[in-house]
A and B are shown apart, each in its own frame.
Chain A
Amino acid sequence: MTASISPATSDKAAKVMLWLSASIAILTLLFILGYIVIKGLSVVNLSFLLDSPRLSGAEGGISPAIMGTLCVVTVALLAAIPIGIGAAIYLTEYAPECAATHIITFGVECLAGVPSIVIGLFGYAFLVIYLGFGFSILSGGLALMFMILPWTVRASEEAIKTVPQALREASLALGATKWQTVSRVVLPSAIPGIMTGVILGVGKAIGETAVIMFTAGSSLLMPTSLFDPVRVLPYHLYILASEGISDRMAYGSSVVLLAMVLVINLAAITIQWHYGRHYVRN
């Protein structure tokens, strides 16, 4: 045994250590952001955002990749939100307390832990080949939906559970049916929480290159239908960098991708902040 350290000293030591950890985390973030922005910002201008790429992306802009990303994410959201909310409503409000329910919940948890490359391969085998959707916005969007579904279900479940039981009772006591109660009281109160969770899921999913490169394709043409292949932004920058096409353009694409993620997260925070005050009472 060493001589015992006084509580005051260990308190100070702990404070320093914690401060150090926090600083490292923040500095890392700032370093990455700074590095990418410094290397890439000079490339980003209006024509970079609006033009089509030339010479495999070495010249020109990235508009098809931006468009492709937005399309794939939109499809994923449109599919994940109703399914996720529906599953969450079932699990929280309707499902009996039984083994089957626990297994479903556990299954959702497991889906959240499946590596994205596996989901990508599954999407390729099932959506691209078996269902014949080919490399397309639809395949990419649905594969991405598998990625964000667990998030959506979880966020929705959490949000639904925070709605006070007293509100359900109030509604039922007025002669509402269960579905009227869920759709008119529970869901409206839970929507902000659900949206926050879903948007954070999207922010995470938008960078999931592995899922999308197996399903959405890598076309640099502007898509005109759901069945057209697209190249999403993270895959575009991966190709630019890994095939040595243009580092400059890769950093430029990174800046745009980062900006998109930032905007998405800000949207989530805004919703949470705006509606968070709802729950203060009751």
Chain B
Amino acid sequence: MSEIEIESRNLDLWYGSAQALKTITMAVPEKKVTAIIGPSGCGKSTFIRCINRMNDLIKDCRVTGELLFEGMDIYGKDTDVVALRKKIGMVFQKPNPFPMSIYDNVAYGPRLHGVTKNEELDRIVEESLKAAALWDEVAGILDRSALGLSGGQQQRLCIARTLAVEPKVVLFDEPCSALDPISTAKIEDLINNLKRDYTIIIVTHTMQQAARVSDFTAFFLLGELIEFGKTKQILEMPERKSTEDYITGRFG
């Protein structure tokens, strides 16, 4: 097994008085794809939104336990959240491009972080769009509004936008749930290519997707991590009864 990139130890999370994550302990390996599966409402989004501190936006959200990124405590007192989010990017469930041109969407992050030279921005935009398998479709229309793209293209644009700030980890929260099968296939191919350079965590509600894209799989149920292991093993011979029930479609 490769190096550990993200490690969670006894992580608990409460929304007000409702506990949404219960003592999650799990280690996410570097440059692999880790899938998180489980029925809706089991805390998948909540868990990955801890990793880039997106939960900070929610009032009354309280976290205890340890969550480490490259050995650094994500919820530590002097963690620089902005720097953390630069290193840990996120692609959301619904494509959310900014109402700007395609170019400006991708250049948004680099500009924030101080890139001002046009040649350099051009290069970053082109490389990011190529890495997100969108370049061929938009090369001639970079100055058009991103809102004119199809849903699948918008989602790949959001991926390009995330890659443009050179993160080490990319979190995907059900990135295909709003997309058609062809767009879904494109994004799955893309994720398979991205794992050479990035550590990827993907929340998915379909076991098939987990099987297609992931190396490791975590099964969540009611805020608990029930089982974690190689995807093949989790899907083919789960150790726990509830994992088996979920995978064979007995509930979910």
Contacts and interface: CB of A to CB of B under 8 A. Distances in A.
Interface in A28-72: none
Interface in A262-282: 278, 280-282
B108 to A, nearest CB: 6
Interface residues of A, number: 23
Interface residues of B, number: 26
B96 A170 contact: yes
B54 A169 contact: yes
A172 B57 contact: yes
A184 B52 CA distance: 21
B85 A174 contact: yes
A175 B96 contact: no
A167 B96 contact: yes
Contacts of A184: 108, 112
A175 B147 contact: no
A170 to B, nearest CB: 5
Nearest to B83: A175
Interface stretch (B157-165, B180-188, B194-202, B204-212): B157-165
A172 B165 contact: no
Contacts of A118: none
B1 interface: no
A172 B92 CA distance: 12
A282 B96 CA distance: 7
A175 B54 CA distance: 11
A176 interface: yes
A175 B85 contact: yes
A106 to B, nearest CB: 21
Contacts of B83: 175
Contacts of A188: 99-100
Interface of B: 52, 54, 57, 59, 82-83, 85-86, 89-90, 92, 94, 96-100, 108-109, 112-113, 147, 158, 161-162, 165
Given A169-B57, A170-B98, 14 more contacts: A97-B59, A167-B96, A167-B99, A169-B90, A170-B92, A172-B54, A173-B85, A173-B92, A174-B85, A174-B89, A174-B108, A174-B112, A174-B161, A174-B162
In the A-B complex, the 6 residue pairs with the closest CB atoms: A175-B86, A166-B96, A174-B109, A173-B90, A175-B85, A170-B96
17 contacts: A166-B92, A166-B96, A167-B99, A170-B161, A171-B98, A173-B54, A173-B89, A174-B85, A174-B108, A175-B82, A175-B109, A177-B82, A184-B108, A184-B112, A185-B98, A278-B99, A278-B147
